[in-house]
Amino acid sequence: MDGLDTLKAKYLTAVAGASDESALEEVRLAALGKKGEISALMASLGKMEPEVRKAAGANLNLLKDEIDAALRAKKAGLADAALDERLRSEWLDVTLPGRPRPQGSIHPVSQVMEELTAIFGDMGFAVAEGPQIESDWYNFDALNIPPEHPARQEHDTFFMARAADDARPPHVLRTHTSPVQIRAMTAQGAPIRVIAPGRVYRMDMDQTHAPMFHQVEGLAIDRDISMANLKWTLEEFCRAFFEVPSVELRFRASHFPFTEPSAEVDIRCSWEGGQLKIGQGDSWLEILGSGMVHPKVLAAAGVDPAKWQGFAFGMGIDRIAMLKYGIPDLRAFFESDLRWLRHYGFAALDMPDLPGGLSS
Ligand code: DAH
């Protein structure tokens, strides 16, 4: 019996001292494995007298069970400790924001269109759209530009090809966004407040002209809208768009067939060291055409000029994008040069809005 107590003490100490699962397995094999010490004693029972064997067998089984229980308890303890250790070392902060790596960038023209939409949206203007292939009635006649009018020549129009026997009215690639005025008023009537950003086409190509470029049209019609509302709206727009505390606009009398009176609008600026600064300085930069919508234009769109009046304006989007973001050559806008797009492009997730800042 003394022998068994010694064995018990030996293995329980070994179990307690095992520092990991493989050390514990070695202890198990040494005691209870096929060639282990306890197993050898079990095998020796066969040679004993039946009376002796009975008592010795019972004691051996007891010892075997005790060592087995100690092994299991230790094994569970080691597994718990291993799990605790993993939980401590392998953690992940699920509250960290993701780190997206967007491919590509937003083109400055798209960015500026979003900025325009945000600013005019804040002033109650909705976005209106029209087709880029337009009938010459919408592009010219309805805007008080009859067929013999010289403005038709000035527009360097692209005409759609037609078979000689095709009787449908001629279509053109729209030369300006002004026809959207007609479409919006015809669809919605008055009062109305819309902007219409989009592509326009003219046969022209040099450093400041491309055959396709972008304009935004503005239109506000109500009972008593005046030039004063036009001036405030444009000042407010320029201040927000160029992100300067104040701007000064100069209205120069001009002529457009679709407005009466008409004005071209310049913004005060300076060119210090080749750097354009909007808002202050001794120079003026022309940024748009505008005026009070001509009664004939209202009538063409089914709006009664005796009851309604308002202003319209048209502005080159590419041009104000060049001015705001210091982009020198218009042609590069449409060359799809990846280096240019990476340099002048905007982050895809950085959509402009007024509270968040337009270009920040
Ligand atoms: N449609 C004119 C152009 O393309 C720009 C323009 C001038 C639009 C005056 C207007 C306006 O709405 O009132 O040159």
130-160 pLDDT tens trace? 999 999 999 999 999 998 888 787 778 999 9
Q: Which of 313, 315, 317, 319 to mutate to test the pocket of ligand 1 (most atoms within 8 A of CB)?
A: 313
User: How high does pLDDT run on average in the chain?
Assistant: 91
Protein residue closest via CA to atom 12 of ligand 1: 313
Q: Which residues pair with 206 in a beta bridge?
A: 209
Kindly give the residue spans of alpha helices, DSSP state H, lying in the chain.
2-17, 21-32, 37-44, 50-89, 108-122, 136-139, 151-154, 179-188, 227-242, 295-300, 317-325, 338-344
Question: Given the CA of residue 177, which atom of ligand 1 is nearest to it?
Answer: 1
Q: Residue whose CA is closest, atom 6 of ligand 1?
A: 314
Locate the ligand 1 atom nearest the alpha carbon of residue 217 and give its number: 12
φ, ψ for residue 257, nearest 5 deg: -60, -25
Task: Give the residue whose CA is nearest to atom 5 of ligand 1.
Answer: 314
Question: Considering the chain, what percentage of its residues have pLDDT values greater than 90?
Answer: 64
Q: Which CATH code fits 108-344? A: 3.30.930.10
User: Which residue's CA is the closest to the ligand 1 atom numbered 4?
Assistant: 176
Torsion angle, alpha carbons of 190, 195, 199, 200, to 10 = 60
Alpha helices in 192-332 (DSSP H): 227-242, 295-300, 317-325
For ligand 1, atom 7, the nearest C-alpha belongs to: 289
The average pLDDT across 80-92 equals 90
**Which amino acid type is present at position 232?**
W
| Calpha distance 43→49 (Å, rounded) | 14
Tell me the percentage of the chain whose pLDDT exceeds 70.
Answer: 99
In DSSP terms, 262 is beta-bridged to 254, 291
Q: Give residue-wise pLDDT tens across range 166-211.
A: 888 889 999 999 999 999 999 999 999 999 999 999 998 777 788 9
pLDDT band at 360 (very low <50, low <70, confident <90, very high): low
Instruction: For 319-358, give the DSSP string.
Output: HHHHHHHT---GGGGGS--HHHHHHH-B-TT---BTTTBS
Residue 191, classed as helix, strand or coil, is coil
| Mean pLDDT in residue range 261-267 | 97
pLDDT of residue 101: 72
pLDDT recorded at residue 355 = 74
Q: What is the rounded distance in angstroms from the CA atom of residue 283 to the CA atom of residue 79?
A: 79
Kindly give the residue spans of alpha helices, DSSP state H, lying in 90-162.
108-122, 136-139, 151-154
Return the residue matching tokens 């444009």: 234
Protein residues whose CB sits closer than 6 Å to any atom of ligand 1: 176, 178, 217, 256, 259, 289-291, 312-314
The HSE-up count of residue 132 (CA atoms within 13 Å, CB side) is 11
Nearest to 305 by CA among 230, 223, 196: 223
Report the residue among 138, 139, 213, 290 best suited for mutation to probe ligand 1: largest number of ligand atoms under 8 A from its CB.
290
Q: What is the pLDDT of residues 322-349, one digit of tens each?
A: 989 988 888 899 999 999 999 999 987 7
306: CA distance to ligand 1 center in Å? 23
DSSP state of 46: G
CA 289 to ligand 1 centroid distance, Å: 5
Please determine, for residue 274, whether its predicted confidence score (pLDDT) is greater than 80.
Answer: no
How far, in Å, are 134, 148, 186, 219, 308 from residue 297 at the CA level?
17, 17, 11, 12, 12
**Which letter, b or e, does each residue of 211-238 get, where b requires 16 or more Cβ atoms within 10 Å of its Cβ?**
eebbbbbbbbbeeebeeeebbebbbebb
Answer yes or no: is pLDDT of 356 > 80. no
Q: Which two three-digit tokens encode residue 343?
A: 């340099």
* Distance in Å, CA 258 to ligand 1 centroid: 8
CA of 290 to the centre of ligand 1 (A): 6
| pLDDT of 1 | 47
Band the pLDDT of 71: cuts 50, 70, 90.
very high
The answer to whether residues 111 and 348 touch, using CB atoms and an 8 Å cutoff, is no
Query: Taking the domains of the chain in order of start, what are their residue ranges?
Result: 4-89, 108-344
pLDDT of residue 97: 84
